[in-house]
Amino acid sequence: ELKVEQNPLFLSMQEGKNYTIYCNYSTTSDRLYWYRQDPGKSLESLFVLLSNGAVKQEGRLMASLDTKARLSTLHITAAVHDLSATYFCAVETSGSRLTFGEGTQLTVNP
């Protein structure tokens, strides 16, 4: 059974600081996704990582994938309040089978 673990689960940080969210998974994967969810809202796709060493960046967020270590990271640079949300990683295996991590609830304080 595939396990996807995120840490930390809760993250409170100050504006302007940097931090990294980690996503570990337990088996070989076809692809890895990062999503953002605001309270009471749906999920918004952030990144799709397809291969070992993949790195993608959008604004203050950068995601990377190390398939050998079965690890993905979501790095936040110079956090701003608008980044406050819950971030999920999700791992896809055979077909369209998708397993989500528990989510990291990020709060950025002024």
Partner 1 sequence: EAQVTQNPRYLITVTGKKLTVTCSQNMNHEYMSWYRQDPGLGLRQIYYSMNVEVTDKGDVPEGYKVSRKEKRNFPLILESPSPNQTSLYFCASSFYRDYGYTFGSGTRLTVV
Q: Which stretch in 19-27, 59-67, 75-83, 89-97 sits in contact with partner 1 by CB under 8 A?
A: 89-97
For partner 1, give the closer residue by CB, 80 or 105.
Answer: 105
Q: Determine which residue in the list 7, 19, 22, 43 makes contact with partner 1, applying CB under 8 A.
A: 43
Q: Which residue has the tokens 């608008």?
A: 82
DSSP codes, 2-60? --EEEE-SEEEEETT--EEEEEEESS--SEEEEEEE-TTS-EEEEEEE-STT-EEEETT
What is the contact surface with partner 1 in residues (CB under 8 A)?
Answer: 30-31, 33, 35, 41-45, 47-48, 50, 88, 90, 92, 95-103
